[in-house]
Amino acid sequence: MQRFILNSLKIILVVFSTTCLFSCSSEPKQLSEVTSVAEAKERIDWYMAIQVKKYQELCAGPRNDTQKGKFLELAAEIGEIYQAGAKCEKLDAEYQSEVFDYAMSSLHSNKDFLALLNENRCNCW
């Protein structure tokens, strides 16, 4: 009987952990779906964190022409942040401007992204 209870508890723990993992790490709404500035900021923060991770992974990779091409692709992805305000189709213009300002402050706080966008240079090489 004790073995049955222990196995049951293990199963419940695994199910709970898996559910929490998937629900806690879910992707925020797309910018076109947001209905508030707070939701847009959450999406921008999530997007920038993903780009930082990609940048770090590229920095850890080999230094060759293929990798340089991947950095340029990443620069194009990061550059999409300039459209953040306009992509918030459900927000009024004043709120779109607030989202744009937030996106720009997020971008400008990352010197690696600025070097990549403005100078086509990665700081880790």
Give 34-80 pLDDT, tens digit per residue.
999 999 999 999 999 999 999 999 999 999 999 999 999 999 999 99
Distances (CA, A) of 48 to 14, 62, 65, 67, 78: 31, 23, 25, 20, 8
> Quick check: 56 and 115 in contact, CB under 8 A?
no
- In the chain, domain spans: 30-119
pTM of the model: 0.76
> Quick check: 122 and 115 in contact, CB under 8 A?
yes
Structure tokens at 8: 């049951």
